[in-house]
């Protein structure tokens, strides 16, 4: 009886998952690795979830992998049976691209020791890589430092941060931001960050941005997440500049955003796929950094809301990246309680 119930449950999961998965358009390539990625948001959100999707789409386009993308599985409880489904179907790599997925991935990996997985997390996830689970995180302080430097070059002040959830990796990023801002503009004033509690709620971000602007902010720092259109809209309405948004966020973002630092997952994913092919997958702890070119300055732009941005900002940013990557300039690490 238990066997029949379990079989029926798996069938139901397979049916439900197939309804919202994005299939590979060319499924019969001999020798191609089969990869599935589960996202906690949308694959075109111009933010974190698109980073994951774009990081594997490149290899689909090149014919190296067959790809399934499952979007908007917000709750890890809902994601876990999807991970099991892909593992049971024999996918070569199952990726859980959501910071709340780690526990579900590790539980699934124990049930399927012959399958391979990748999970995301904060700095501590690097210590948890196993024989069949690779981990990914990013150098949050480095990303923030470079973004803060870009913000400081504008000479705008006060500077306000509008963010989603108050997670440790997010706090680490904004700690690095303060350091980069001081390097570029020691006179800049910073307002305390506003955390709306959601990486996706654009309306809350819009309200928080408008609040800080009323309080005097002349530059809003944020991230390229689901909430970003709300930040851009409020900034454009008030004629205030931003940093951290993607140019694809909205027309408003293109008009007010000075620049950002994006994650390019492709260089790291190249190594993951190579190790899968060579059967040397075990123990991978991946980290996007400036040195491995998985953190990249992007969308550097001259905007009307930031008239004092130097014309050679691109080259200044490139020089800073070189110094950071070479270890000639150190970023102070964030610790809890700071």
237 domain-assigned: yes
CB 100 within 8 A of CB 42: no
Do 96 and 189 lie in a common domain?
A: no
Overall domain count for the chain = 2
The answer on 195 and 317 residing in a single domain is yes
When pLDDT is averaged across residues 238-256 and rounded to a whole number, the result is 95
Determine, yes or no, domain membership for 282.
Answer: yes
CA 177 – CA 166 distance, rounded (Å) = 15
Looking at the fold, whether 258 and 269 belong to one and the same domain comes out as: no
Is 268 in the same domain as 245? Answer: no
In a domain, 334, yes or no: no
| Residue 65 domain flag | yes
Evaluate if residue 258 carries a pLDDT over 70: yes
- Give the whole-angstrom CA distance, residue 120 versus residue 137: 6
Cβ-proximal residues to 294 (8 Å cutoff; 6+ apart), any chain: 138, 263, 264, 265, 267, 268, 287, 288
State the pLDDT confidence band at 29, using cuts at 50, 70 and 90.
low
User: Are residues 30 and 174 both part of a single domain?
Assistant: no
Interval 182-213: pLDDT, tens: 999 999 999 999 999 999 899 999 999 999 99
pLDDT at residue 18 in the model:
38
User: Domain for residue 160, yes or no?
Assistant: yes
Whether 278 and 311 share a structural domain: no
- Alpha-helical regions (H) of the chain: 2-20, 48-61, 76-88, 102-111, 140-153, 168-184, 202-214, 228-238, 251-256, 266-277, 313-325
**Beta bridge mates, 33:** 65
333: in domain? no
> Which pLDDT score is estimated for 99?
85
Considering the chain, what is the average pLDDT of its residues?
90
Domain of residue 178, residue span: 141-262+297-325
CB 154 within 8 A of CB 258: yes
**pLDDT top residue among 132 and 26:** 132
Residues 162 and 95 in one domain: no
Q: How confident is the model at residue 30 (pLDDT cuts 50, 70, 90)?
A: low
pLDDT at 25 over 50: no
Contact by Cβ (8 Å): 228, 205:
yes
| pLDDT per position as a tens digit, 269-284 | 999 999 999 999 988 9
**281 and 132 within one domain:** yes
What pLDDT score was predicted for residue 126?
Answer: 86
Specify the pTM: 0.86
Residue 50's CATH number = 3.40.50.2300
| Residue 274, domain member (yes or no) | yes
Note whether residue 335 is domain-resident: no
């Amino acid at each position: 009886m238990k066997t029949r119930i379990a079989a029926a449950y798996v069938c139901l999961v397979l049916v439900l998952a197939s309804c919202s998965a994005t299939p590979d358009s060319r499924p019969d390539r001999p020798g191609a690795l089969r990869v599935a990625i589960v996202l906690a948001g949308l694959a075109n959100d111009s933010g974190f979830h698109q980073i994951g999707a774009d990081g594997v789409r490149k290899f689909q386009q090149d014919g190296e992998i067959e790809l399934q993308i499952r979007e908007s599985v917000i709750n890890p409880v809902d994601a876990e049976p999807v991970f099991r489904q892909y593992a049971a179907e024999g996918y070569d790599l199952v990726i859980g691209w959501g910071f709340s997925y780690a526990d579900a991935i590790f539980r699934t990996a124990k049930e399927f020791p012959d399958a391979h997985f990748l999970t995301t997390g904060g700095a501590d996830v690097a210590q948890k890589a196993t024989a069949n689970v690779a981990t990914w995180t990013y150098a949050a302080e480095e990303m923030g430092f470079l973004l803060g430097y870009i913000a400081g070059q504008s000479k705008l002040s006060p500077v306000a941060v509008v963010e989603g959830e108050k997670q440790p990796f997010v706090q680490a990023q904004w700690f690095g931001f303060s350091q980069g801002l001081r390097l570029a503009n020691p006179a800049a004033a910073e307002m305390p960050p506003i955390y709306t509690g959601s990486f996706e709620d654009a309306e809350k971000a819009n309200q928080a941005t408008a609040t800080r602007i009323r309080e005097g902010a002349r530059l809003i720092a944020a991230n390229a997440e689901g909430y970003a259109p709300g930040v851009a809209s409020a900034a454009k309405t008030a004629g205030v500049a931003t940093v951290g948004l993607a140019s694809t966020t909205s027309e408003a973002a293109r008009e007010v955003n000075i620049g950002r630092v994006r994650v390019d997952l492709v260089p790291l994913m190249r190594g993951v796929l190579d190790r899968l092919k060579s059967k040397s997958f075990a123990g991978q702890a991946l980290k996007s950094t400036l040195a491995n070119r998985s953190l990249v300055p992007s969308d550097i732009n001259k905007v009307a809301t930031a008239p004092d941005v130097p014309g050679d900002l691109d080259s200044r940013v490139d020089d800073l990246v070189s110094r950071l990557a070479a270890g000639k300039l150190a970023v102070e690490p964030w610790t809890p309680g700071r």
